[in-house]
Structure 1
Amino acid sequence: MRWQGDEQSNNVEDVRGSGGGGGGFGIGGGTVGIGTIVIALLGSWFFGVSPGTILGLLSGGGSPAQVQQVPNRPPANDQETQFIRTVLRYTETTWTQIFQQNGATYTPPILRLYEGSTPTGGCGMGEAAVGPFYCPADRKVYLDVSFFNLMQQRFQVGGEFTQAYVIAHEVGHHVQNLLGISGKVDSMRRRLSETEANALSVRVELQADCFAGVWAYHTNEAKQIIEQGDVESALKAASAIGDDALQRRARGEVVPDSFTHGTSEQRMRWFSKGLQTGSVQQCNTFDARQL
């Protein structure tokens, strides 16, 4: 992936090394059993929302307990951090243009870099073990960069374009939040059965995959960032993190009613649709008869 020398975003909080960790999940003042925590970790293992949000729902509580924010500091200037800031800037440029073309204003998210765990502004404690996530309450993307090493070790998928896809997916959730999609979906979930709510979550996640593809299309049009093998590596990552692949790997069987992110084939297809068309309108997973 070509990115060196391009403009970098200033919307990065770097709290690595600041001791921002906490003593576990505090949800609504109550306690959460280990079984519930395992469910939350599985449910948000890849490219989802904070496990604190899931734990809040599972424990019957309201919003996750608020925690004290840790001080921010300027982000480091190593190559990995420069890459993350550049990718975030790419997303800002793409979505600003798309929103302007539709008579709207894009407000970019803040990306927080952390190590181990970090407090959020309304989604409980962020934990590195569950991967990157977006918190709609504070409009921030949370990322522990060690996750990228975990992807390589556990699933043999990596590369800079794959990492960019991960970031763009989380920014896709921010776009959903700005468009009011997230709020409507959350309201609908409360009236649905668990199976129906899971099916709705799949549509949310596949749309974020498609939005990541839209980002890649427009950024490549403007900057020619994609090199040979980049798209293949991103598709390999999308395949590796499909619900069916994860469940088969974890327990040797697949339970479709429990899917929350989509199958490997679905995730590849919707990312590809966004990448091939560059059209937000093509990402309407909620009206799609077949995912």
Structure 2
Amino acid sequence: MKLLITGYSGFVGNSLCEKMCNTHQLHLLGRKDSDCGVVFKSSIDKDSNFSESLTGVDCVIHSAARVHVMNDDSVDPLAEFKAVNTHGTLNLAKQAVQAGVKRFIFVSSIKVNGESTTGRLPFDATDHPVPEDPYGISKVEAEQQLLELGEKTGMEIVIIRPPLVYGEGVKANFASLMRLVAKGLPLPFRLIKNNKRSLVSVYNLVDLIKVCIDHPNAANQVFLASDDHDLSTAEMVALMAKVQNKPNLAIPVPVWCFKLAGKLLGKQAVIDRLTGSLQLDITHTKNTLNWSPPYSVEHGFELAAKSFRKNS
């Protein structure tokens, strides 16, 4: 089977290539060189011509995106996100239809559902989308247009919504927290133990994507992805300490102190992510595909720590 992978040089795309390069013919769409397949250099936008890269392809795995950033200084962030995540995605999908591609897998985001499940049940695949930022809006619009295109043309659409993805080479907030734990300093997170957050290791996410390539029940479905083992902030810090062979020196600062500090400093969103919940119910994913995450949370944390030590 021949696959087209976009975003192959990114965090998820790189792991996809490593997993697929020995079992599938790979066409890679992006801007960097790679030894994993045939590279077609192109940007993802509404005007690009993807016909050459789509020749003979059975399934597209579209993981390229303009990614979410905390402090976006673009003049019009929504337009910037939509240019790639919505218009670029639809252009690629339309050309995939013309090329006879059978299935189009879109790596979306749980931000389509919203930002928090504090005080409510976990998100599931049937929830009405409530995106709260330009990134989430661009993703939900892409999802809706893909599903409409699939209905009209018969190309099978598979949508996967992951939460925070971690593993070897992870960056951003996960890496920052791991770096703090590695210093062996007391951290004020011991009492943040009543929240729950879903994560997904890149290894579990790639395994799910691999299943979706040809599973008959995956067609025209939306799947949420996680490790199926949610953690509180306190549990996350404790596990980071364990896999790095560091003492867990977390100290008991009341949660209300964090919330007050967030309000005074104008950092409520940051504190909400630290103290609040974001849970995914992946029952539909497991039942529909007869799939369970094959790797434990500790496995993913250990590999992230190993990579962190190497790079440090």
TM more than 0.5: no
Which protein has the bigger helix share? Answer: 1
Which protein has the bigger strand share? Answer: 2
Query: TM-score by structure 1 length?
Result: 0.29
